[in-house]
Structure 1
Amino acid sequence: MTRVLIVGSGPAGIRAAETLAAAGLRPVVVDEGARAGGQIYRRPPAGFTRPAEKLYGSEASKARALHDVFDRLVAAGQVSHLPNRSVIALRDGVAHVLGDTLEKIRYDRLVLATGATDRLAPVPGWEVGGVYSLGAAQIALKAQGVALGRKIVLAGSGPLLTLLATQLMAAGAEVAAVLDTAPIRTQLRGGLHMALARPLVTLRGLRMRAALGRRYHAGVTLDRIDSDESGPTALLWRDARGEARRTACDTVALGWHLRADGMLADLAGARFDWSPAFAQWLPRADPLGRAGDGVYLAGDGLRILGADGAELAGRAAAIACLQDLGLPSPDPATVLRRLRRMQRFAEAMACAFPWPVEHIRHLPDAAVVCRCEGISAGDLRATLPVSGPEANRVKSMARVGMGRCQGRYCQLAGAEIVAAASGTAPAQVGRLRAQPPARPAPIGSLLAAGDREAE
């Protein structure tokens, strides 16, 4: 029997598992969460009484449908589900999986549905406790019904900024301000193309925006986060006219859309290309997600297309796998057509809510870029005469990207600073090479590694 390993049980992983199971395969699904659903449809612990409509809003029916599909597959024995585990290394058809112990799972085909992480731009003062990513604030709200603060400022750009604000408000949290770095004219230009690709989704976003009222400010410049020993006290910013503003708060959440998590794709041998549209490195794959011999990519870890796009990409990756195995598979034409529409929408969204290049390139020397290691923008600039403008050499000299996140949160901003200081482009700076373990692992678990054959 061919052994297919799926990493991730969000929308992409669930639909991939469903498609493979329908063809008679029994995939093994490994996921870091306790329950399937991914980040966007993250499920709270068993016994949590908050209804799906409060957790997922207008997407409640989609969330329930995905959860039900996966639960039925597991209950029927069509899928082997290994929750609370992280794949930390891949080599020679073996996944090294960290749970209570380190296990080794052999596979013949690999589907990576690893999703995305927050894309973060440094703001002076963001290194203090009480400054979170938008995704972290949303996870706390969904998983535990907790708002991470009593007076919250959300800042950045992208759809999650507006969505999280409305979710927090619906939960009764006080949102002091929603600060969007994207100018209105840029949003209008990209928004037109968004509406042409997905009119109903665009309209839903506009309705959420309207619900924010005077809390929402577009085209802002973020100057710094003031704090004391207890955490943030205020965010200082300038409005679209350049007037200085100060918003008192005890919590700040930041985020500029998403960054594809390509760590495992890199370890699996995928190649990467710089995407000017998305201002990040994205793995190379064919339209169905083939990224190498027996390696298939799906969801936001391949392209940032959102939850609906992830479901389609999960089906596409499974179809590619079945084709390569010579097994009967669904016709991919409809899936591919819908994926192309999702791609047009995503590119328009990236245009409407751009990565704040100029803000990053002009950060003061004292601003911390790498929170894990405490590396400042000045540290990066000072390293260039020795390292040159190459990402991995800068990492070895300045330690940026050597911390717990392994560059997930600082790599893109660091590349912008290096590019600006050296008169080159981020694509020429390159990307940090992935290294195992992909997640922090206790030394004891590495020493006590065992073998596990998925049933």
Structure 2
Amino acid sequence: MSQALSPRIMIVGAGPAGIRAAATLVEAGLHPVVIDEGQRAGGQIYRRPPAGFTRTAKQLYGPEAAKAGALHALFDRLAEEGRLTHCAASSVIAVHEGRLHVLGESGVQVISYDRLILATGASDRVAPVPGWQNAGVYSLGAAQIALKAQGVALGRRIVLIGSGPLLTLVGAQLVKAGADVAAVLDTSPWHQQMRGLWKLAARPFVAMRGLVLRARLGGRYHAGVALERIEADGTGVTAMHWRDAGGRERLTECDMIGMGWHLRAETHLADLAGCDFTYDEQWRQWLPKTDRMGRAGNGVYLAGDGVRLLGADGAEIAGCLAAAACLADLGRPAPSTGAYLRKLARLERFARGLACAFPWPAAMVRALPDDAVVCRCENVTAGSIGEGADFGGGEANRVKALSRVGMGRCQGRYCQLAAVELVAGQAGCTPGAVGRFRAQAPVRPAPIGAFLRDA
């Protein structure tokens, strides 16, 4: 069938899931269009540095260097051969009635699609700590991107806080690069980490690799800490106040803090595309509902960390599955998926082990003082959210309307989970009962001029 008569299949995201989805479709004789915010494919996990960068792939990606290189080469080859269309440096800012609103260098274009594969990935899941609104506080992902893309550490003396594999990974990467990492503070105690151990055995080599990275941190790593507050002056962060597992007060001087509690699925476009959601008690967040293949209904398919938080390996498999589902629904021959589904089940066991071992710090969030800033975009405090909960009846979007939490530049990406946790505590219910903030277009900030078209 000629390209002109082929169904128009759009893929949003050129990370591991998007690349594998595109390759699967190309192998079936289709010509997908891949839209990605980056200049080059790879996603966040396999982000590529600019031309002329002197650090090697081994230094950038560690043991994943070969896998990253293979994905990069595969996508580049398909694009160079004209077998797919790559819309780089472009953001999908809205989905409406079978059309994507795409923001690029030439403004906003409206592109229709027959099938849509969303491989939007995930971002850092952060929890407010008193003082986190000050200059010098970044997410772990931001610290990692700066190291990968520019070869720089974001501070001269660094403290990392949070929990999960990324905390250990970024700490080890910074130490290896020669950065001064003063402390790595994990809110998950040792006994909690041991609870997830039996599920982590589903991927023993990955678990062992994490332990090796942990060992490289040495005495910098502290488990079961309580985060008190971030101290700052007019120039930015100056120190982290915390308590160790024994309850002793500690102070670590620093000029940069990186924070993160595993990942938060990027779901704004899935919401606008009409996908249903369900609250996952273990991950403590709302996730889109799909079948095992990634079908979300209405010609929409989801793949990668935007639907299941399974890491890069899981994202690759999910991309293949979503493309196979798309092909089957189009009545075209699709690759066998049995082996993929079995491997995906093993990856899900491992991911559940991570969620158990490194949980979201719900108790810490609910204990925030009233003057602690929760929404950094709009400077909304925990006290204001509590007042909104009293008047809003414990429903997420009413509290949002009353307090403006989640109405800023990030659209709740960094504050929603904490805000919902506070509302649930105030209302005496579960976060799932509070609901989630509704996504609004545009899902990314866009200049007004981008919407203006020549008559």
Percent identity, please: 63
Number of the residue aligned with 2:148: 142
Alignment-mate amino acid for residue 70 of structure 1: F
Aligned mate of 1:251, from 256, 259, 279: 256
Number of the residue aligned with 2:178: 172
Q: What secondary structure is seen at the aligned counterpart in 2 of 1:413?
A: helix
State whether structure 2 residue 302 is matched by structure 1 residue 297: yes
CA contact (8 A) 1:103 1:449 kept: no
Aligned mate of 2:448, from 417, 422, 443: 443
How far apart, CA to CA, are the structure 2 residues paired with 1:107 and 1:370?
35
Aligned mate of 1:189, from 186, 192, 195: 195
RMSD of Structure 2 on Structure 1 (CA): 0.9
Alignment of structure 1 residues 44-443 onto 2, 5 Å: 44-100=49-105, 101-195=107-201, 197-443=202-448
CA contact (8 A) 1:85 1:99 kept: yes
Alignment-mate amino acid for residue 392 of structure 1: N
How far apart, CA to CA, are the structure 2 residues paired with 1:371 and 1:118?
15
Number of the residue aligned with 1:453: none
CA contact (8 A) 2:390 2:426 kept: no
Q: What secondary structure is seen at the aligned counterpart in 2 of 1:365?
A: coil
How far apart, CA to CA, are the structure 2 residues paired with 1:264 and 1:364?
33
Q: Give CA-to-partner distance per residue, 1:92-112, whole Å, 9 cap, x none.
A: 211000012111122100000
Aligned mate of 2:31, from 17, 23, 26: 26
Alpha-carbon spacing, 1:449–1:328, altered in 2? closer, same or farther (3 Å): farther
Q: Give CA-to-partner distance per residue, 1:246-284, whole Å, 9 cap, x none.
A: 001000000000000000000111000000111100000
Q: Give CA-to-partner distance per residue, 1:324-359, whole Å, 9 cap, x none.
A: 001111111011111111111001100000000100
**How many positions carry a matched residue from both structures?**
449
Normalising by the residue count of structure 1, what TM-score does the alignment of the two structures yield?
A: 0.98
How far apart, CA to CA, are the structure 1 residues paired with 2:335 and 2:29?
13
Off by >6 Å, runs of 4+ in structure 1: none
Task: Tell me how far 1:383 sits from its aligned partner.
Answer: 1.8
Task: Tell me how far 1:447 sits from its aligned partner.
Answer: 2.2
How far apart, CA to CA, are the structure 2 residues paired with 1:383 and 1:2?
47
Q: Give CA-to-partner distance per residue, 1:196-223, whole Å, 9 cap, x none.
A: x100000000000011000000000000
Normalising by the residue count of structure 2, what TM-score does the alignment of the two structures yield?
A: 0.98
How far apart, CA to CA, are the structure 2 residues paired with 1:187 and 1:40?
24
Alignment-mate amino acid for residue 219 of structure 2: R
Number of the residue aligned with 1:14: 19
Alignment-mate amino acid for residue 381 of structure 2: S
CA contact (8 A) 1:113 1:297 kept: yes
How far apart, CA to CA, are the structure 1 residues paired with 2:63 and 2:182?
24
Task: Tell me how far 1:449 sits from its aligned partner.
Answer: 8.1
How far apart, CA to CA, are the structure 1 residues paired with 2:388 and 2:307?
32
Q: Give CA-to-partner distance per residue, 1:285-314, whole Å, 9 cap, x none.
A: 000000012100000001100000000000
How far apart, CA to CA, are the structure 1 residues paired with 2:100 and 2:445?
16
Alignment-mate amino acid for residue 150 of structure 1: R
How far apart, CA to CA, are the structure 2 residues paired with 1:116 and 1:286?
19
Alpha-carbon spacing, 1:249–1:112, altered in 2? closer, same or farther (3 Å): same
Gaps of 5+ in 1: 451-455
Alpha-carbon spacing, 1:441–1:449, altered in 2? closer, same or farther (3 Å): farther
CA contact (8 A) 1:160 1:257 kept: yes
CA contact (8 A) 1:102 1:449 kept: no
How far apart, CA to CA, are the structure 2 residues paired with 1:108 and 1:289?
16
Task: Tell me how far 1:421 sits from its aligned partner.
Answer: 1.1
Alignment-mate amino acid for residue 38 of structure 1: G
Q: What secondary structure is seen at the aligned counterpart in 2 of 1:288?
A: coil
CA contact (8 A) 1:290 1:317 kept: yes
Range with bigger deviation, 183-192 or 308-317 = 183-192
Gaps of 5+ in 2: 1-5
Q: What secondary structure is seen at the aligned counterpart in 1 of 2:196?
A: helix
